[in-house]
Amino acid sequence: MTDRALDNAPARPGHLAALKAIPPLVWVAILWLAAVLFVAIFADLVAPYSYTAPNLRNRLVAPGHALHWLGTDELGRDVLSRLIVSIRISLLIAFGATVISACFGTALGFLAAYFRGLVEQAVLMLADFQASMPFLILALAVLAFFGSSLVLLVGLMGLFGWERYARIARGLAISAGAQGYASAVTQLGAPPTQVYLRHILPNIASTLIVSMTLVFPEVILLESGLSFLGLGVQPPMTSLGNMVGFGREYITRAPWIMLAPASVIVLTTLSVSLLGDWLRDRLDPTLQ
Amino acid sequence: MIPSLVEAKGLARSYAQRRGLFGRSVAVRAVDGVSLRVSAGETLGIVGESGSGKSTLGRMVLGLEAPDEGAVRFDGADMPKFGTVEWRRARARMQMIFQDPLGALDRRLAILDQVREPLDIHRRHEPAERTDKALAMLARVGLSRHLAARYPHELSGGQRQRVVLARALMTEPALLVCDEPVSALDVSIQAQVVNLLVDLQEEMRLAMLFISHDLRVVRQVSRRVAVMYLGRFVEEGDADDLFADPRHPYTQALVSAAPTPGARQKRITLTGEPPNPAERPSGCAFHPRCPLATSRCRAEAPAMRTVEGGRRVACHLAEDPAHLARKAA
């Protein structure tokens, strides 16, 4: 009887209680990221003008103008519309690159942990090589040779930061194997794919997600840097960094061209960091 | 004679140990020429202090580690190589209980999923039936249904060890290796888990290798006991007999160290360094600490010999019980 009564009782606290536990700052970060995501997905619907349409009569209009809320740039293009499209491109690059580098790095780390020996040495050597080489130089070299396209840019950025995931995944997987649960499951007869994907990956996911939130802002900044240098996203396409780069020339006369994308970069990276920090604590069931 | 389920012959395993930054690596023989056999429904207890190679022996018997020398035969066939498909398939028939149950469980999975997992791995039964089987096994080890959705950290130590036991028994194995299964538990809980283990062993006719440093527990569980010192068996025999009348000086010291209610017996205190497998003494490994050591013990390693009543002892002095008794007195 007692057992049955307890069977029906909810095992976990309700979702409502979980929502209330989110600190206000994290709420702000979540709302900001949601807004940014919304804008990125529905950029075409949200943007009041085409991001390339010039309006020579209204050049360098200050923010607050009835037709151009965030003002216009030197060709009279609407800054708000350009900002919205930039958010889409920058987020696409940053998300794509972060996901690619997380998958790539984790896979290499797991391979190193499973095979040890030569494979591990090779992976660690590659990771050391990557870590010791300034990524910007590598990116400049590749982009200078192959020219810049969105696909290449995402792929290249995907190489950024993989060595961190590889090191973390390798270290944690090895210690998991030595610790018990992984060797216990191996001992049950589970194939290595199951041991790594069903047991080790969820156990180390919180650490990986946190390092993803650390890499994400860096990718945004890196893309901004490359675009600023003229090697990233090529005009007429626009991105946050690209806008900052071209807005630089008008910083004294029309600072809004640069300030709008710069503040989006700052707020987005800050939000991702805040969210990641909070997630790390939440994702560990033993800390709840 | 009952055919044995597991048979190990001359198992040996060395590890390379490096000392300091530029130190030469030294081969440490953790297990050095151990043979054993266990039949279905039988328990072999293995006692020894830490560093004696008990756990390594257990892992080799299970095929988790390949022996450098010797071989393990399970049910008449050689142990498949670690990590191969055959090896994985063989896991359904041999299982292990670990010392640290919290470490052995995945803290991100509910215990029901973990107990169910062996069936998923070995594709036993229909997927729909597996959960019922897991619940039945949890009930069998004394865990009520409402614990099934909990996570390992929400359980007590004894409950966790029951979960580990339930998981190990899901595929109805023939051999269970228990490596210090109750050392991490409270004494009161130890007794419950040990009793459960004994019940289940009888019920399922498990062959069991019970590794522990706790003589009391080993005696309760095993019919046969082997005493291990620095990677070798020094004495092996019927549990009651061996504890009542230990022949090897090391076993004598071990037995005298265990408290017996009522009896005030003289306790043999061992002197000298605790055993270090990296610096194995010449001759009989026990001679630096042995109160009865002779010059022969320093020079010549004693072989395992059968004395009366199926007892096997590796000691030069054990050939002559009268001599041993006189010296000890």
Which of the residues A2, A185, A288 would you substitute to probe the B interface, choosing the one with the greatest number of B C-beta atoms within 10 Å? A185
Whole-angstrom CA distances from A282 to A165, A205, A206, A286, B308 are 20, 12, 9, 9, 64
* Mean of pLDDT values over B36-55: 88
| Nearest CA-CA partner of B226 in B298, B314, B325, B303 | B314
Q: Does residue B228 register a pLDDT over 60?
A: yes
**pLDDT attached to residue B167:** 92
Q: What is the pLDDT of residue B168?
A: 92
Closest CB to B104 among A7, A180, A192: A180
For the cut 90, the answer to whether the pLDDT of residue B275 exceeds it is no
What is the model's pLDDT at position A10?
43
Mean pLDDT of residues grouped by 10 in chain A (288 residues)? Answer: 43 60 87 91 80 76 75 80 88 89 93 90 91 86 84 88 90 83 86 87 85 84 81 81 82 85 88 84 66
Q: For B121, which of A6, A9, A189 is closest by C-beta distance?
A: A189
Domain locations along chain A:
23-287
- pLDDT (0 to 100) of residue A7: 45
- The answer to whether the beta carbons of residues B160 and B103 sit under 8 Å apart is no
Percent of chain B with pLDDT over 90: 17
Q: Reply yes or no on whether the pLDDT at B210 is more than 90.
A: yes
Q: Of B161-165, B191-195, B280-284, which range is least confident?
A: B280-284
| Sequence ranges of the domains in chain B | 6-235, 245-264+279-329
Burial, A13: exposed, middle or buried (Cβ in 10 Å; 0-12, 13-18, 19+)? exposed
Q: Are the Cβ atoms of B95 and A181 closer than 8 angstroms?
A: no
**Chain A, nearest residue to B167 by Cα:** A188
What confidence tens digit (pLDDT) does each residue in B178-209 have?
Answer: 998 888 888 888 888 999 999 999 999 999 99
In this prediction, residues B41-56 reach a mean pLDDT of 88
Q: Is A236 exposed, middle or buried (0-12, 13-18, 19+ CB in 10 A)?
A: exposed
Q: What is the 3-state secondary structure (H, E, C) of A59-84?
A: CCCCCCCCCCCCCECCCCCEHHHHHH
Nearest to B106 among A9, A181, A189 (CB): A181
- CATH number corresponding to A23-287: 1.10.3720.10
pLDDT value of residue A5:
41
Q: Which of A223, A258, A252, A281 is nearest to A88 (CA)?
A: A223
The listed CATH number (3.40.50.300, 3.40.50.200, 3.20.20.70, 3.30.200.20) that belongs to domain B6-235: 3.40.50.300
pLDDT at B22: 72
pLDDT tens digits along B235-255? 999 988 888 888 888 888 888
Contact B121 A285 (CB under 8 A): no
- Residue that wins the pLDDT comparison between A43 and B31: B31
Q: Which positions in chain B touch A199 (Cβ < 8 Å)?
A: 106, 108-109
Q: Where are the beta strands (DSSP E) in chain B?
A: 6-18, 25-38, 43-47, 69-74, 77-78, 94-97, 175-179, 207-212, 224-229, 232-238, 305-306, 312-313
- Provide CB contacts within 8 A for A151, sequence distance 6+: none
Q: Are B275 and B53 in contact, with CB atoms under 8 Å apart?
A: no
Specify the pLDDT at position A222: 86
Rounded average pLDDT over B96-100: 87
